[in-house]
């Protein structure tokens, strides 16, 4: 029996490494436990109400006349999944896909992507000292994780991953495929060029020629190659001694024509999850994927059939280690008085608490450590039962 | 002298370095030694020529071996290995010239000087043939252009026109006086290429007061100029056309053919009032506007004439002219200048560029320059790079600029500055509110940084 299968066997009995004090730490010197975590930062503010549609809410179709028009995929008697994610339905049925609704970070009111992402990845409150905000919560986890070493965590992709930034060294890897700029990036470029007569004509054509921008329409499956490369690399590392990977998917800033513009990012998210499952093989059973975003979007469709920056949204969980097939979280309602600032979904839980409970379950990190060191000042509250390990 | 303003740093340099304008006002950048050539020295033309000759010799040996053995396995394997080694060595020299050029531009306290080097190198444009010898263009610039950008125009003209790379490029090395001893014996004759470009491009300009006769006479006068085995300029009297030649009404030669006759003609061409006018217009069109204000051109031409072609005085007059203070940035940054400016805004230093491996130099600079329409050291012809805005801001060229802006910064910097701060790093007080607003609306920081670099404001100078 090799060490890995020994560990797996042990853990399948319901123990985690930290909960087995009779095992010498040295045994785990190169492997802090046998569970795996994939953190996916969805940059640009995913519209939780479109991913995870509250179809049972009577206000939905009036608030979102075009976005809710196409029927979704029924998950239970209240929620529907976005119709383009049919590939994830087998996971839902197998209990390998779940959601937490109406969650947010402590970020409020300013609704800036940059600041929102910084706070999500720092894992702090808004008023935390600057120095603390420059470290990511996964890095702080590594600093307190018994047996963590130089390849316990990996950052994947060219995009910076502040969630892993900090004193603990974290290697990074990026595939040769290029970054891609989503619809919002294209719109901002177009706006810039329109403002300058010398650039307006060439600019509009350049947007069609540029290799780094997502094509407006058509097949263009090339954008999935990058996601496959992410998944292959992540799975290879996670099958060795890496336990945590973090990466980001962009393209969620769907201010206009969201019924179309959200499809590509959703395709990429679906592909990432399915690719990871295929590549991880048996390790999938010990894997938890947490996909989280900086904030949600407005409950009302705007004048360009998109949505603007909001507050609460949804977190997606996937993997053999999650207790899926359920939507967690307390639904706040879509009535006028239920909304935050009269426009956004009201947050009913802190997304950090769910991430913290996942760390507790996956790596046995003590509650006090999570509340003081990893997410300073966070109140974990009750165990939401995210995992089934 | 006060420090340079943002506008000066962009107009007479390559922009800000992580938010700061490098150096003093441009007028104060024209004196003192050339610190950058000292910090990042390159190989001489003759050193590169020695490498090229080894390559040629190896290729000849290989050819002989292959001819002898006619397909059988012989000693050609190690020769092929050697040939590859020579090729790689020259290709590495070429990439090193890219790194040095960027390192100088990124570290210089006198960026105006670097811009003047690029302007004059474009004015006396050459290409090195074959392409594997491309590093020699940079040696030519270091030897013939750089030492003279704040010196006298007649000295630069002499250095550039008589440089072996120029003599080869414009076919002068093969031009022979038909009545010279060598021409008579070999039946060789004139090539007018250099003579024509000397009048049309280098000095008087296409609308200058010269005719075909002047071109022909000058071509005869230039015979004898050649390039030896060590890539040194030589004067071969036996190839020089005997007699005297009249160019623009002045007689040259008549005695024993000599280099001094050619030099006398170059001095007169340099001092011609049409040369002053032609080059004043060209400088103003390069730095200020494709169609420069006539008053600016007049004033520069007057300075040129009064100073007898003192390029320091002309550069000073240009930087201090009221027309150069206009807030309207009407020029498009050429791709090379755009990349220097973008790297500078990101805080990339010369030392860092010098440490890049080959692959990174190609990915970050060489390939993007091709995509943006300005392949490294390969202008289309002896007239150098076009000036006008519409040549550079094309759909293809702009798409390549967007691609660089969106993908390269993240490759160079794991943690990029906050895009809202980067607006200031790149454009300082010249950033407008529209740009700030749109950048703040980017969905992630990489795109925000990319927006700044792809913006019209950053692509103008």
Q: Which residues pair with A250 in a beta bridge?
A: A43
How far, CA to CA in Å, does B141 sit from each of B138, B152, B367? 5, 16, 22
Residue A389 pLDDT:
81
Residue B67 pLDDT:
82
Q: What is the mean pLDDT of residues A349-366?
A: 97
Residue ranges of domains in chain A, CATH in brackets: 30-179+221-374 (3.40.720)
Cβ distance A333 to A259 under 8 Å? no
pLDDT mean across residues, chain A: 89
Judged by DSSP in three states, A82 sits in coil
Q: Is the predicted pLDDT of residue A227 greater than 70, yes or no?
A: yes
Residue B271 pLDDT level (bands cut at 50, 70, 90): very high
The closest alpha carbon to B286, from B337, B350, B339, B225, belongs to B337
Q: What is the mean pLDDT of residues A95-109?
A: 97
**A287-293 and A172-173 beta bridge pairing:** unpaired
A310 contact residues in B (CB cutoff 8 A): none
Of the candidate ranges A366-380, B65-79, B336-350, the one whose mean pLDDT is the lowest: B65-79
Q: For the sheet containing A52-53, what is the strand order?
A: A52-53, A80-81, A73-74
Angle between helices B311-320 and B111-123 (to 10 degrees): 120
The closest alpha carbon to A47, from A314, A317, A354, A327, belongs to A314
**Residue B260: how many other CB atoms lie within 10 Å:** 11
- Binding-face residues of B in 328-357 toward A, CB within 8 A: 332
Cβ-based contacts under 8 A for chains A and B:
131
Angle between helices A183-194 and B445-454 (to 10 degrees): 30
Q: How far apart are CA B265 and CA B248, in angstroms?
A: 10
Q: What is the mean pLDDT of residues B388-395?
A: 94
Using the beta-carbon criterion (under 8 Å), do B407 and A158 form an inter-chain contact? yes
| Residue B24: both structure tokens together | 């003093």
Q: How far apart are CA A156 and CA A246, in angstroms?
A: 6
Q: What is the mean pLDDT of residues A236-243?
A: 94
- Among the partner residues A192, A195, A206, nearest to B395 by beta-carbon distance: A206
Residue A4 pLDDT:
35
Judged by DSSP in three states, A368 sits in helix
Judged by DSSP in three states, A159 sits in coil
Residue B325 pLDDT:
95
DSSP state of B24: B
Q: Is B460 within 8 Å of chain A by CB?
A: yes
| Residue B142: both structure tokens together | 């270091």
B396 contact residues in A (CB cutoff 8 A): 206, 209
Residue B71 pLDDT:
55
- Among the partner residues A113, A174, A203, nearest to B443 by beta-carbon distance: A113
Prior bond of B130 cis (ω within 30°): yes
Cβ distance A242 to A171 under 8 Å? no
Terminal C-alpha separation, chain B: 23
Cβ distance B446 to B318 under 8 Å? no
Residue B72 pLDDT level (bands cut at 50, 70, 90): low
Of the candidate ranges A148-152, B275-279, B308-312, the one whose mean pLDDT is the lowest: A148-152
CA A375 vs. chain centroid, Å, equals 17
Angle between helices B111-123 and B273-287 (to 10 degrees): 120
- Among the partner residues A43, A165, A192, nearest to B444 by beta-carbon distance: A43
| Interval B88-127: pLDDT, tens | 999 999 999 999 999 999 999 999 999 999 999 999 999 9
Residue B1 pLDDT level (bands cut at 50, 70, 90): confident
| ipTM of the shown complex | 0.90
B389 contact residues in A (CB cutoff 8 A): 198
- Return the residue in B443, B449, B457 with the most chain A beta carbons within 10 A, the one to mutate for interface testing: B443
The closest alpha carbon to A280, from A315, A321, A317, belongs to A321
Chain A positions touching chain B (beta carbons under 8 Å):
43-45, 112-114, 117, 158-160, 162, 165, 172, 174, 178-179, 181-182, 184-185, 188-189, 191-193, 195-196, 198-199, 202-203, 205-213, 248, 250-253
Q: Which residues pair with A153 in a beta bridge?
A: A244
| Residue B326: both structure tokens together | 């206009």
Judged by DSSP in three states, B438 sits in helix
A130's CB contacts (< 8 A; 6+ apart) are none
Q: Which position has the higher pLDDT, A36 or B130?
A: A36
- Binding-face residues of B in 374-413 toward A, CB within 8 A: 389, 393-399, 401-403, 406-407, 410-411
* A152 CB burial (10 A radius; 0-12, 13-18, 19+): buried
Q: How far apart are CA B212 and CA B215, in angstroms?
A: 5
A267 sits in the region (left: phi over 0; alpha: psi -120 to 50; else beta) called alpha
Q: How far apart are CA B2 and CA B27, in angstroms?
A: 10
Using the beta-carbon criterion (under 8 Å), do B398 and A182 form an inter-chain contact? no
Task: For residue A273, give the H/E element and its range.
Answer: helix A263-280
- How would DSSP label each residue in B285-322? HHHT-SS--HHHHHHHHHHHHHTTSBHHHHHHHHHHSG
DSSP state of A181: B
Question: What does residue B352 show for φ and ψ, rounded to 5 degrees?
Answer: -65, -45
Residue burial B263-286, b: 16+ Cβ < 10 Å; e: rest: bebbebbbbbebbbbbbbbbbbbb
Judged by DSSP in three states, A209 sits in helix
Q: Which residues pair with B332 in a beta bridge?
A: B460
Residue A210 pLDDT:
84
Number of C-alpha atoms within 13 angstroms, CB side, residue B349?
Answer: 4
Q: What is the mean pLDDT of residues B130-149?
A: 96
Using the beta-carbon criterion (under 8 Å), do B399 and A114 form an inter-chain contact? no
DSSP state of A259: H
Q: What is the mean pLDDT of residues B222-249?
A: 96
pLDDT mean across residues, chain B: 95
| Interval A37-55: pLDDT, tens | 999 999 999 999 999 999 9
Cβ distance A364 to A33 under 8 Å? yes
Residue B74 pLDDT:
61
Using the beta-carbon criterion (under 8 Å), do A188 and B398 form an inter-chain contact? no
The dihedral through the CA atoms of B104, B108, B111, B114 has a sign that is negative
Q: Is B434 within 8 Å of chain A by CB?
A: yes
Of the candidate ranges A177-191, A230-244, B296-310, the one whose mean pLDDT is the lowest: A177-191
Q: What is the mean pLDDT of residues B399-403?
A: 95
CA torsion B140→B144→B146→B150, rounded to 10°?
-160
The closest alpha carbon to A363, from A60, A143, A63, belongs to A143
- Largest Cα–Cα separation, chain A: 73
The closest alpha carbon to A358, from A137, A195, A201, belongs to A137
- Distance to chain A for B103, nearest Cα, Å: 25
Residue B73 pLDDT:
59
How far, CA to CA in Å, does B373 sit from each of B138, B379, B385? 19, 10, 10
**Could you state, in order of their start, the residue ranges of all structural domains in chain B?**
166-271, 335-459
The number of helix segments (H) and strand segments (E) in chain A equals 14, 12
| Interval B187-228: pLDDT, tens | 889 999 999 999 999 999 999 999 999 999 999 999 999 999
**Residue B352: how many other CB atoms lie within 10 Å:** 16
- Among the partner residues A160, A181, A199, nearest to B415 by beta-carbon distance: A160
How far, CA to CA in Å, does A214 sit from each of A179, A187, A224, A265, B163? 10, 11, 11, 10, 49
Q: How far apart are CA A142 and CA A164, in angstroms?
A: 9
Using the beta-carbon criterion (under 8 Å), do B444 and A117 form an inter-chain contact? yes
CA torsion A221→A227→A229→A232, rounded to 10°?
-120
| Residue A117: both structure tokens together | 């992402």
Q: Is the predicted pLDDT of residue A12 greater than 60, yes or no?
A: no
Q: Is the predicted pLDDT of residue B282 greater than 80, yes or no?
A: yes
DSSP state of A153: E
Q: Is the predicted pLDDT of residue A299 greater than 90, yes or no?
A: yes
| Residue A183: both structure tokens together | 């619809």
Q: How far apart are CA B148 and CA B157, in angstroms?
A: 9
Q: How far apart are CA B364 and CA B371, in angstroms?
A: 11
Residue burial A111-135, b: 16+ Cβ < 10 Å; e: rest: bbbbbbbbbbbbbbbeebeeeebeb
Residue A182 pLDDT level (bands cut at 50, 70, 90): confident
* B360 CB burial (10 A radius; 0-12, 13-18, 19+): middle
Judged by DSSP in three states, A129 sits in coil
B412 contact residues in A (CB cutoff 8 A): none
Q: How far apart are CA A250 and CA B447, in angstroms?
A: 10
Q: Is the predicted pLDDT of residue A15 greater than 80, yes or no?
A: no
Residue A31 pLDDT level (bands cut at 50, 70, 90): low
B402 contact residues in A (CB cutoff 8 A): 189, 206-207, 210, 212-213
- Distance to chain B for A185, nearest Cα, Å: 6
């Amino acid at each position: 029996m090799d060490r890995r299968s020994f560990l797996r066997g042990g853990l399948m009995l319901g123990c985690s490494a930290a909960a087995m004090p009779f095992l010498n730490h040295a045994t785990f010197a190169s492997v802090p436990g046998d569970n795996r975590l994939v953190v996916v930062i969805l940059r640009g503010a995913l519209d939780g109400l479109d991913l995870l549609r509250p179809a049972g809410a009577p206000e939905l179709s009036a608030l979102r006349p075009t976005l809710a028009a196409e029927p979704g995929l029924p998950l239970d008697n209240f929620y529907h999944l976005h119709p383009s994610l049919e590939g994830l339905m087998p996971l839902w049925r197998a209990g390998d896909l779940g959601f937490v609704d109406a969650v947010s970070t402590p970020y409020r009111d300013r609704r800036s992507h940059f600041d929102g992402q910084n706070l999500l990845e720092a894992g702090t409150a808004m008023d935390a000292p600057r120095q603390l905000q420059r470290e990511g919560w996964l890095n702080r986890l590594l600093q307190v994780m018994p047996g963590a070493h130089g390849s316990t965590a990996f950052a994947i992709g060219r995009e910076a991953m502040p969630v892993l930034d900090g004193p603990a060294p974290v290697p990074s890897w990026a595939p040769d495929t290029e970054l891609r700029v989503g619809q919002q990036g294209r719109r901002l470029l177009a706006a810039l060029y329109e403002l300058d007569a010398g650039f307006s004509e060439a600019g509009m054509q350049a947007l069609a020629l540029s290799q780094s921008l997502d094509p407006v329409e058509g097949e263009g499956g090339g954008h999935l190659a990058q996601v496959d490369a992410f998944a292959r690399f992540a799975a290879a590392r996670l099958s060795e001694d890496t336990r945590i990977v973090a990466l980001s998917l962009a393209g969620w800033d769907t201010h206009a024509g969201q019924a179309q513009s959200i499809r590509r990012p959703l395709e990429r998210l679906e592909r990432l999850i399915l690719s990871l499952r295929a590549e991880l093989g048996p390790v999938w059973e010990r894997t938890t994927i947490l996909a989280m975003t900086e904030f949600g979007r407005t409950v009302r469709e705007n004048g360009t059939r998109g949505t603007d920056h909001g507050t609460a949204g949804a977190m997606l969980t996937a993997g053999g280690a999650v207790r899926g097939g359920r939507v967690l979280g307390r639904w706040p309602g879509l009535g006028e008085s239920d909304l935050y600032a009269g426009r956004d979904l009201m947050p009913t839980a802190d997304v950090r608490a769910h991430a913290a409970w996942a760390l507790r379950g996956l790596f046995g990190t003590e509650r006090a450590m999570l509340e003081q060191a990893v997410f300073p000042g966070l109140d974990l509250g009750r165990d939401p039962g995210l995992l089934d390990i | 002298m006060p420090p340079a303003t943002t506008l000066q740093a962009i107009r007479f340099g390559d922009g800000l370095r992580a938010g700061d304008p490098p150096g003093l006002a441009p007028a104060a950048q024209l004196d003192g030694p050339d610190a950058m050539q000292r910090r990042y020295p390159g190989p001489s033309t003759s050193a590169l020529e020695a490498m090229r000759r080894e390559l040629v010799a190896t290729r000849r040996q290989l050819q002989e071996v292959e001819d002898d053995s006619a397909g059988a396995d012989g000693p050609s394997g190690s020769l092929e290995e050697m040939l590859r080694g020579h090729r790689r060595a020259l290709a590495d020299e070429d990439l090193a010239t890219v790194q040095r050029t960027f390192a100088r531009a990124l570290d210089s306290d006198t960026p105006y000087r670097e811009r003047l080097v690029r302007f004059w190198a474009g004015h006396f444009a050459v290409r090195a043939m074959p392409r594997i010898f491309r590093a020699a263009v940079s040696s030519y610039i270091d030897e013939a252009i750089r030492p003279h950008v704040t010196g006298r125009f007649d000295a630069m003209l002499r250095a550039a026109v008589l440089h072996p790379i120029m003599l080869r490029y414009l076919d002068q090395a093969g031009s022979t006086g038909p009545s010279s001893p060598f021409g008579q014996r070999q039946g060789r004759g004139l090539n007018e290429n250099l003579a024509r470009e000397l009048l049309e491009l280098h000095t008087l300009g296409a609308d200058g007061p010269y005719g075909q006769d002047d071109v022909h006479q000058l071509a005869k006068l230039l015979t004898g100029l050649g390039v030896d085995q060590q890539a040194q300029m030589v004067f071969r009297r036996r190839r020089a056309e005997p007699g005297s030649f009249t160019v623009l009404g002045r007689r040259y030669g008549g005695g024993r053919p000599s280099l001094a006759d050619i030099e006398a003609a170059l001095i007169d061409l340099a001092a011609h009032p049409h040369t002053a006018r032609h080059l004043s217009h060209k400088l103003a069109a390069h730095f200020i506007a494709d169609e420069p204000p006539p008053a600016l051109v007049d004033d520069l031409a007057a300075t040129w004439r009064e100073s007898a072609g003192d390029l320091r005085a002309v550069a000073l007059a240009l930087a201090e002219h009221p027309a150069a203070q206009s807030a309207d940035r009407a020029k498009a940054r050429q791709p090379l200048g755009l990349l220097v400016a973008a790297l500078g805004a990101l805080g990339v230093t010369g030392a860092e560029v010098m440490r890049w491996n080959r692959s990174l130099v190609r990915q970050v600079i060489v390939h993007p320059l091709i995509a943006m329409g300005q392949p490294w050291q390969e202008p289309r012809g002896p007239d150098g790079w076009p000036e006008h805005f519409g040549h550079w801001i094309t759909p293809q060229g702009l798409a390549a600029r967007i691609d660089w802006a969106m993908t390269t910064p993240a490759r160079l910097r794991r943690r990029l500055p906050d895009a809202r701060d980067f607006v200031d790093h790149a454009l300082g007080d010249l950033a407008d509110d529209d740009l700030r607003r749109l950048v703040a609306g980017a969905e992630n920081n990489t795109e925000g940084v990319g927006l700044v670099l792809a913006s019209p404001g950053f692509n103008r100078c």
